[in-house]
Amino acid sequence: MKVGDSVPKLRRFGGFRDRTLNQVFRAQTLAQSAPYLNFIIPALGIVFTLFLIPDRKLLGDNPLFAQALVCRLSFLALTLTVSVLQLFEKYAKYREAFIIAVCIGGVTAYGWTFFIYADADPLVQSMSVMVMIAAIFLLPLRITYAVLFSSAIAITGLISVFIKGSSSKATETASFALYFTLMVVFSAMAAWRTERARRLEFLRAEELKELSRIDGLTGILNRRAGEERLRSNAEEIGRYGGDAAAIIFDIDFFKKVNDTLGHAVGDRVLKELCDRSTRVLRHSDALARWGGEEFIVIMPRSNMSAAIGLAERLRALFEAEPIEGVGVVTASFGVTALRRGDSPESIIARADRALYRSKENGRNRVTED
């Protein structure tokens, strides 16, 4: 199939419209954040635990301090466990789940400590709420999750201030509610603008990457991209088994077209046959220009029978429809199935042998190897 026909767009208030692109972006973001997370997550746990020092002075030797001790050490254990697990590549796919677990643990532990301090100064607690909201937005969370967790912190802090305040402090409580709300809103706006800028940069990088994989004349994959597809399919079969196939086809007597009608007409022939090919390929198939007038079709999850069937269909399609100003243009085909232990070179060697036999036997035919 052709690539680069459309560019995925950003939603106004969200991610990309293309779900796969969203997944790639999130995976890349989390991978790039790994060194930062290895620092910030244990740092959050250690800082939270260090507050045991003022806890001891303010709460003394009583059950409330024991609760604070359990609360803070539990969160420290969670952050250290997550930090250790992140060091192993096999747990990389759980990185976002680890961050969410830390946020849930942080909200729970922080909320618990609010209610341990029965006589706490509401102003001090409100400042700690603001700090925690900022800390939530330091983590590479999705915006919706960051807003959810920061709102939970704000609501918990507001409830604590309200319960411990008196009716004469209603204005003070309302002020805290306003400050917490503004902190969440402004933090979310800043995070949204930053992420949007990163998404635009990511999109531009993806567009450049895609352009580097496209043949400039025909709009299909170029040889480099075709080799990558071959390699990935060969590796998948080597690892998991299954079926895949490759078809190489070469336009018959194409040099004659260039020599007698000119290169502009030759280019039109190449584009026309590529357009015809893409109309009959499956979404999962890949068409690449291998060089000059030679092309390759990579067919994942297809056996030799299916590949021969597609090759015959392409051959008949080329032959059946004359090209204006040129006439009937045919092609010769070589087909091979991928095997365990294959490399792009071995696949191409077999397909080329089959293609050569098609040419030897009169062209405009399909041969397998």
* Tokens encoding 44: 């959050």
The set of residues, in sequence order, having a beta carbon less than 8 Å from that of 239 and lying 6+ positions away, is none
Q: Which of 195, 206, 227, 293 is catalytic?
A: 293
- The rounded Cα 47 to chain-centroid distance in angstroms is 33
Residue 277, number of CB atoms within 10 A of its CB? 25
Burial of 19 (0-12, 13-18, 19+ CB in 10 A): exposed
Integer Cα distance of 270 and 263 in angstroms: 10
Integer Cα distance of 331 and 358 in angstroms: 9
Task: Examine the residue annotation and report whether 201 is marked as an active-site residue of this protein.
Answer: no
Tell me the C-alpha to C-alpha distance, in Å, between residue 283 and each of 189, 238, 299.
39, 23, 10
Which ranges of 51-121 does DSSP label H, i.e. alpha helix? Answer: 52-59, 63-85, 95-116
The secondary structure element, H or E, covering residue 123 is helix 122-138
Integer Cα distance of 69 and 108 in angstroms: 14
Is 363 in a helix, a strand, or coil? coil
CA distance between the termini of the chain: 24
Instruction: Please list the active-site residues.
Output: 293
